[in-house]
A and B are shown apart, each in its own frame.
Chain A
Amino acid sequence: DIQMTQSPSSLSASVGDRVTITCRASQGIGNDLGWYQQKPGKAPKRLIYAASNLQSGVPSRFSGSGSGTAFTLTISSLQPEDFATYYCLQHNSYPPTFGQGTKVEIK
């Protein structure tokens, strides 16, 4: 199975901060990666697909980049509703595998 290493596991940030989360794949996955946001008690919600495509309805402050083995999710200006846990998910090779998650907390 492909291993997805996500960092950091948690971070503290203030409203308005720029936040960057990274995922590294144990082998090349092209651009077969999505980013998901999960709030307590809720299902994951897709933010980004194919590494850099913004899901319809998702604010433009979210962006994704990368290909191959290194990927980044960036929140350009953190808003109060963005405090949540974020996961990457690769679907290049079966089974799909998730990163360990990054919890974004209020500083």
Chain B
Amino acid sequence: EVQLVQSGAEVKKPGESLKISCKGSEYSFISYWIGWARQTPGGVLEWLGIIYPGDSDTRYSRSFQGQVTISADKSINTVYLQWSSLKASDTAMYYCARREGGSYDYWGQGTLVTVSS
């Protein structure tokens, strides 16, 4: 069965950097876009961006352009979401999801990122 497995929870201080991961298995990893979404503590879901692991074509949502970097390493079936300087407002649960036929069918289990001094 298709699986997306994300890296574990992180606790960071403002200004620190972070890279979280999402590893796909049991499907042709390079053939499907993978997106990143976040869920705030209040439950609001927002889309950050998507990447096509086959050629690393990447698109960002306007609100997150320049705030995060999405990358992929197709040799190990993994996509990444990274921050160079975290803010308290980045505290959220982050999900990766596979795009199939436009919609998003399989989701990772989520990575909780907490940014606090």
Which A residues form the contact surface with B (CB < 8 A)?
A: 1, 32, 34, 42-46, 49-50, 55, 85, 87, 89, 91-92, 94-98, 100-101
A43 engages B110 (CB within 8 Å):
yes
B109 engages A49 (CB within 8 Å):
no
* Least distance between A23 CB and chain B CB atoms (Å): 13
Interface residues of B, CB < 8 Å — how many? 23
Interface of A, helix, strand, loop or mixed by DSSP: loop
Interface of B, helix, strand, loop or mixed by DSSP: strand
* Least distance between B20 CB and chain A CB atoms (Å): 14
Counting CB contacts under 8 A, is B105 at the interface? yes
In the complex, what distance in Å separates the CA atom of A46 from the CA atom of B46? 16
A34 engages B45 (CB within 8 Å):
no
Q: Which residue of B lies closest to A56 (CB)?
A: B105
A46 engages B105 (CB within 8 Å):
yes
Q: Which residue of A lies closest to B64 (CB)?
A: A95
For B43, B62, B102, B105, the residue with the greatest tally of chain A CB atoms inside 10 Å of its CB is: B102
